[in-house]
Amino acid sequence: MPISELDQRVFKHYGEFYTKDFSVYSLDQMDYLAESHYINNIDLFFIDSLLVQIQAYLTVDKSNELINQFGRAKLVINDYHNKTLLETEKAITKTSNGYSINKNLDHYKLKWVRIGADIEYEVNKKLNTDSTSANLARFSSMGNPNGSKYKLTFQTSDFQYQMALIEWESTR
C-alpha cells in the first residue's frame, strides 16, 4: 500500500527518520477499528512511500489465536527462566480448541515466515523494574495493568535489508 492511499484523518504522521524515504504513521483514532478493545497502538512504517511494516501493540495475549491461525511457528526464547522451564514442560500443547502455548512461559517470540512477509509476535509478561514510566504507560491499560508487552509485527521479507540501506544512505 502506498502512502497516498493512507487515510490521513485516521493515521497521524509520526515523523521521518534517517532520510525522507523512511516514514512512520501511527493510528490516531483507535475507535476506528472494531478490535480496538484489545489494541493499544498501531504503527505503520513506509520506505520509499510503500508500506513495509505494521506493528500492533495489544493489551491481551493472542498467542494461542495466532498459533491456530498461522500454524507452526518458530519459538525464540532468550532468557534462562523460560529455557529451564522448557526442560520439564512442553512449549505447546494440543487442546480441544486447537493448540495452546504453555501459560508458564512469560517472555518469548513466535515467528512465522511466509512468501513475501514475516510475522513476529513478542510476549513479555515480566515486570520490568528498569522500565521508564513512559514505557509502562504505553503498555498499561485496564485490561493490562502490569504493562505486559504483546507486540505483533507484519513486515516484508526484505525489511531488514531495506532498513540497512536507509541507515547507510543517511550516513553518506
In the chain, which residues have pLDDT < 50?
Answer: 131-134, 136-145
Q: Three-state SS for 98?
A: strand
Tell me if 141 sits within 8 A of 150, measured CB to CB. no
| pLDDT for 15 | 75
- Taking the mean position of all CA atoms in its chain, how far away is CA 113? 15
Task: Please give the order of strands across the beta sheet that includes 117-124.
Answer: 11-17, 22-27, 39-47, 50-58, 149-156, 117-124, 107-114, 74-76
| pLDDT for 143 | 47
| pLDDT for 142 | 46
**pTM of structure:** 0.78
